[in-house]
Amino acid sequence: MTLIILFAPLLFASLVHGTSEESSFRSSSLSSSSAHSVIKSSCSITLYPELCYSTLYTTTITQELTKKDVIELAVNKTKETIQANFHTINNLLTPSTYSSLTKRAQTALRDCLDMTADTLEGLDILIQQLRDYPNKKSLHQQADDLKTIMSTAITYRETCLDDLTYDDDDDASKQSSTLVMEGQDLGGKMCSNILAMIKNMTDTDIANNSNKVEHVGRRRLKDEVIWPKWLSVVDRKQLWFFGVTPNVIVAQNGKGNYTTIAAAVAAAPMNSTTKYVIKITAGVYKENIEIPKHMNNIMFVGDGRENTIITGNRNVSGGDGMTTTNSATVAVMGERFLARDITFQNTAGPSGGQAVALRVNSDLSAFYKCGMDGYQDTLYVVSNRQFYVKCFIIGTVDFIFGNAAVVFQFCDIHARKPNLGQRNMVTAQGRTDMNQNTGIVIQKCSIDATADLKETKGGFPTYLGRPWKEFSRTVVMQSSISDIIDSEGWFPWDKEFALDTLYYREYQNMGPGSDTSKRVKWKGWGVMKSDTEARPFTVSNFINGWTWLLSTGFPFWPIL
Residues designated as active site: 398
Buried b (16+ CB within 10 A) or exposed e, 191-200: bbbbbbbbbb
Amino acid sitting at position 257 = N
CB 313 within 8 A of CB 345: no
In the three-class reduction of DSSP (H, G, I as helix; E, B as strand; rest coil), residue 185 is classed as helix
The three-point CA angle 238-240-244 to 5° equals: 50
Contacts 24+ apart (CB under 8 A), 518-521: 518/487, 518/488, 519/487, 519/488, 519/489, 519/490, 520/488, 520/489, 520/490
CA dist list (Å): 516 to 498, 508, 526: 20, 11, 9
List all residues 6 or more positions away from 186 whose beta carbon is below 8 Å from its beta carbon.
81
- Cα separation, 140 vs 546, whole angstroms: 11
- State how far the Cα of 418 lies from the Cα of 300, in Å rounded to an integer: 30
Instruction: Provide the strand spans (E) within 114-251.
Output: 248-250
Separation of alpha carbons 325 and 493, rounded Å: 20
Neighbours of 185 (CB within 10 A): 13
| Cβ–Cβ under 8 Å, residues 67 and 197 | yes
What is d(CA 385, CA 228) in angstroms, rounded to the nearest whole number? 20
Q: Identify whether the C-beta of residue 56 lies closer than 8 Å to the C-beta of residue 39.
A: yes
> What DSSP string runs through 310-343?
EEE---GGGSS---TGGG-SEEE-SSS-EEES-E
- Rg of the chain over Cα atoms, rounded to whole angstroms, equals 24
Among residues 262, 422, 431, 281, the alpha carbon closest in space to that of 351 is found at 422
- With 0-12 / 13-18 / 19 or more C-beta atoms within 10 angstroms meaning exposed / middle / buried, residue 518 is exposed
Residue 422 CA: distances (Å) to CA of 376, 413, 455, 460, 553 = 10, 18, 16, 7, 40
